[in-house]
Structure formats: structure tokens, C-alpha cells
Structure 1
């Protein structure tokens, strides 16, 4: 952990109130967290790309909970330790997400976890309560060498 990074060691939580508007609400919560941790705004294209990738992956996890579980998403948790950010989405289904075989790119659906697999440093699923938590982790976005957020 890098205690000098803004917000290092902090967890931001958002409890969903149903499926309707869940993806947008999750994205707004994530943007707010990224702003509080000084990931956004940024003029650096690489740092912006990492933040946008995170937003895309969070949208995918929330959308999967909306589409594939009876109760929808439960909670979004974002944990920043100064070196990596972990995003977690809980739901009430104990069934783990399935990484589908490569599908026809022209057909909708079934591609989201492939995107997460390519963009995240790591991802997975664990039982939680009677359901599960699906998580992903990304490293600190690149920045100037004198940027304190990810320094050793």
C-alpha cells in the first residue's frame, strides 16, 4: 500500500436500490470515487484510458448482475490501496459468472467478461452471504515519474 496516495486505504460503497438505473448509478459512484482519489480529471491520455477502462468494466459487472440474477446488484465496493484499485459487485445468486467461449463478434451479448478479462489485472468471483461477489483489480494508472500516487 502507498499511504501517500490520495485516499489510499479507503473503501467507497454504494448500495443499489434495484435494477432500474443501476448501471448509471454505479458509473456515477465510480466517477465520484476516481475524482476523490485524484484519478480524474486528468489530461494524461494513458491515465484517462485506465479510468475509462475501469468505468467500462464496472458497467459490465453491474449489467451482469442486472441481467443474470433475480435480485440485481446489491452493492458496489471500490477499494484503493495506493497501488491498485479493486471493484466488487455483490448479488444474491450463488452461481458464478461464466466466461463464454469466443462468440461471433457480430452477435450481441456474451462478450463482457472477455472485455473484463483483457482489461483487468485480475478478476474473479467468491461466495458472499447467500450470493457472490464478482471482483476485478487494476493497477495504478501510469503517470509522470514524480507522481506520488504510485511511488514506492
Structure 2
């Protein structure tokens, strides 16, 4: 596990703070990702009521990457000028396109992306260097 933090400017010249952690593809990586995320969000003074939603999304995205991806999992947190928080989880999987699927109450699994969609402002995915990046965004403007 390796963690890095930094800051620079986005395309509009606003401050963009970033924090990144590299995780081994193990089941316990979701817990490590939550711990890292909680510490970063506290240092960025993100509102408490938003933190729980972000932690839930991080847990689901990292778990999906560990279960369905290949190799190292990278979690990146990006604070876009204090208006938006983006969570990105990248793996070196085959790049299958994740999607929301209809679920019945008896379906035992496959709820991760539905949870991410419910707690975030928006989410999506893209191919990334031979792998897959799944992201979720949270509005920081409404969280105070």
C-alpha cells in the first residue's frame, strides 16, 4: 500500500487537491481504502454528512475492482476547487463496461453500482491504460 497527496490547478485555474493510494488486490483493501479516505476527507474538512456516502462508494468501488479486476487497485480522491469531490478507482482488468442491472429483492449480490449511483451526484467509467477506471462525484457545495 502506497499513499501520495498533492495539489495543483484544474483547467479553470481552481485549486485541485489530490490524494492517491495504491492497493494490493486483496479483500482487506476495501478497509484500507476507507481508512485512507476518512483521513483525507478529515484533512480536507469535508462535511461529516457527506463523508459516510463517500466511504460507502469507495468501499463498493474498491471491492468491485478487487473482485473483477486484475492487479493493483488505485484509489484517487480529487477535490476540484472545493465544489466537487471525485473518487476514482482504477484496475488493470479487461475493461468490461460496468452497468446497473435490474435487481429483485432476492438477488444476493450485484448491488455495488446501484449503491454508488444512489449516494453520488453522478458516476461513470472509462478505459484507462489497458484497464478500467470507475468514478463517482459528490457535490461539496450542498454538503455544508
User: Same fold by TM (over 0.5)?
Assistant: yes
> What whole-Å deviation, never above 9, does each CA across 1:23-56 have from its counterpart, x for those lacking one?
01110110111011012xxxxxxx4232101100
| Alignment partner, residue 60 of structure 1 | 60
What is the CA-CA distance between 1:66 and the residue it aligns to?
A: 1.3
| Alignment partner, residue 22 of structure 2 | 15
Structure 2, gaps ≥5 residues long: 1-8, 10-14
Higher relative contact order at CA 8 Å, sep ≥6: structure 1 or structure 2?
1
| Alignment partner, residue 98 of structure 1 | 99
Structure 1, gaps ≥5 residues long: 40-46, 144-152
Structure 1 runs (4+) deviating above 3 angstroms are none
- TM-score w.r.t. structure 2 length? 0.82
| Alignment partner, residue 147 of structure 1 | none
Q: Distance in 1 between matches of 2:107 and 2:99?
A: 18
- TM-score w.r.t. structure 1 length? 0.78
TM alignment of 1:114-133, pairs within 5 A: 114-133=114-133
Aligned residues: 128
Cα RMSD (Å) of the superposition?
Answer: 1.7
> 17, 24, 33: which one pairs with 2:31?
24
